Structures are given as C-alpha cells and as structure tokens.
Amino acid sequence: MKSSDYIRFNRLPHRWCAGCGYGQVMRSLTLALEKTGSTNENTVIVSGIGCWGHVDSYITTNAFHGTHGRALAFATGIKLANPELNVIVILGDGDGVTIGGNHFIQACRRNIDVTAILCNNFNYGMTGGQYSGTTPEHAITTTSTLGHIEHGFDICKLAEGAGAHFVARSISENVQQTADMIAAGIQRKGFSLVEVLSPCTVHFGRNNKMRRSSELYKWIKEHSIPMAAAKKLSEEQLEGRYVLGTFIDKPGLDYSTKYREVQAKAAAQLNK
C-alpha cells in the first residue's frame, strides 16, 4: 500500500485547528505504515482521548478508541491476546504521561511489543489549553495564568528509565525523520516510543505570546536541538532544550516471546 492509501479521505477534513502539527505527524504515520508494509487487517491503532487521539478515525486500519490515559492498557490486552498484530498506540502528553503515566512506565517495563507515538503539545488542547505533565516551567496556560510552577517531564528519559527498547524524539515538521523513527519503532521488537513535539497554536502559542503559528514553530525549533549538536553542549547549556534523535534502540525479548516460554513450561508441567 502507498502511504496515501492508509488515509480515509471520506473522513476528512480533519478536526485539528489551523497551524496544528498533527496533520504532519499523521503524514509521518502513513509513511511509516508504507515503509513497514503494514496491512489494514494486521494493524490496530489504539488511541485515548485528546486532539491527537482523533487520528485513528482518519486511518484505514483497525482501531480501538478507548478512554483518556488508558490506551496502553487496552493495547496490552490486544497485543498479548494476538502477538501477530502490529499495535500502534496514539498518546498525547495528557494521555501518555499525566493521567496515564503509570500505564506508560509499566508498559515500558514489561516490554510490550507496541509502538507508541506520543505527540507532546505541552498542554491539554482539547479542553482549552490547561497545563499537563509536560508543560514547561513558567509557561502560561489557562490554569497557570501567572506562570507554571511545576517541572515538565522529559518523556524520553522517563521511557528510557522505565525500560523501553526504542526511544526517539522528533518535531512535527520533520515529517520524514518522524516517519523513519516510527518505522524503526514498529520494526523493533519490544516497547517503542516516538515522542513528537507538536505546536498547539490556538492554546499554547496564543497563551504564551506567540500569536502566529509560525512563531510557535520557531519556538519549538529554538527549544530543540539535534543529538549531534547537543553532544557538544554542557548540561547547563542544554537546560530547557529538547534533544532530537534516537536515544535507545536495543534488542531484547518482548513480553509475548517470554510468555510463550512460560506457556511451554506450564504445558510440560501439566503433561508430566
């Protein structure tokens, strides 16, 4: 299938605001599906609730549209019940690491063989731009009008610490880089995370004095840095900047592979 064959054109136009980065990430997703030879029959896109969670209705594969924050738990059941399925999990920063933070770290730790595409737009876009677990300190949101006092998660470090086998970060406008990361994540056996920094122009941008979407795209560019360039900088110099690239890509046995051994041992025990 060609990348455009994965799009349900009859479901368009999409619901995302002008200037939103999710259309770009959706393009990356379809390119990755093409690159990995994914079929509609064998692929399940599992989403939670949030702006990015709408993407499953624009894609031609199977889908499961669950509850806010629980996509990885639904995906765990789907993948373990049928390990042959290609399970792609759609997460936002609220879904993935705020309300669903525990599901996130546990899915990384268990090494469930799914690929999570976490779009981080630094706030809750769908409900009107309130702060999330990734909102940077000092940022203005509709619930931190005097400046945010919490520290935002570094999602990639969280995934790495929790045991994910593929961890990468990109920005929405780097469509091809994001596509390559998603494809690599699909091909990597085990839990894969691709974080994509994406602009929420009508909330995060507007609330933080970036009235034009181009200003927020520029902000994301300025606050991110490719891994090669980052290596030349000190920790202090990197403070407040998001490193882009692939952090982890390591082989290992995923949960289903290990569980098959448990099943074989258990069956042997029973037949003794």
Partner 1 sequence: MSKNYEIRFAMGNDALAEGAIAAGARFYAGYPITPSSEVAEISSVRLPQVGGIYVQMEDEIGSMAAIIGASAAGVKSYTATSGPGISLMQENLGVAIMSEIPCVIIDVQRCGPSTGVATKPAQGDVMAARWGTHGDHSIIALSPSSVQECYDLTIRAFNLAERYRTPVFVLADEIIGHMREQYELHGGEIFNRKQPDPATPAGDFAPFDFEAYEDSIAPMPAYGGKHIIRMSGSMHGPYGFAANDGKSANKYIRHYVNKIEKHPDDIVCTDSFQMEDADVAIITFGCSARPAMAAMNTARAKGLKVGVLKLVTIWPFADKEVAEVLSKVKAVIVPEMNLGQVRSEVEKYNKNGIPVIGINRVDCEIITPNQVLDAIEEVLK
- Classify strands 123-124 and 43-47 as parallel, antiparallel or unpaired: unpaired
Size of the site for partner 1 (CB under 8 A): 44
Separation CA 200–CA 135 (nearest Å): 12
Strand partners, 92: 119
According to DSSP, residue 12 is labeled P
Strand partners, 243: 225
In the complex, the smallest distance separating the C-beta of residue 68 from partner 1, rounded to whole angstroms, is: 9
Out of 20, 46, 171, 202, which residue is the one contacting partner 1 (CB under 8 A)? 46
In the complex, the smallest distance separating the C-beta of residue 17 from partner 1, rounded to whole angstroms, is: 17
Residue 37 binding partner 1, by CB under 8 A = no
Query: Taking Cα atoms as reference points, which of 169, 136, 141, 172 lies closest to residue 27?
Result: 172
Compute how many other C-beta atoms are within 10 angstroms of the C-beta atom of residue 140: 19
Residue 66 binding partner 1, by CB under 8 A = yes
Is residue 116 within 8 A of residue 196, CB to CB? The reply is no
> Position 140: which residue type?
I
Out of 19, 34, 35, 63, which residue is the one contacting partner 1 (CB under 8 A)? 63
In the complex, the smallest distance separating the C-beta of residue 39 from partner 1, rounded to whole angstroms, is: 10
Residue 73 binding partner 1, by CB under 8 A = yes
In the complex, the smallest distance separating the C-beta of residue 267 from partner 1, rounded to whole angstroms, is: 6
Q: What are the angstrom distances between the C-alpha of 159 and each of 31, 74, 146, 166, 205?
A: 24, 19, 30, 9, 27
In the complex, the smallest distance separating the C-beta of residue 231 from partner 1, rounded to whole angstroms, is: 35
Compute how many other C-beta atoms are within 10 angstroms of the C-beta atom of residue 1: 13
The residue range among 75-83, 156-164, 169-177, 244-252 that interacts with partner 1, by the rule CB under 8 A, is: 75-83
Residue 176 binding partner 1, by CB under 8 A = no
Residues that bind partner 1 (CB under 8 A): 11, 40-42, 44, 46, 49, 56-57, 60-67, 70, 73-82, 84-85, 102-103, 106, 110, 255, 259, 262-263, 265-267, 269-271
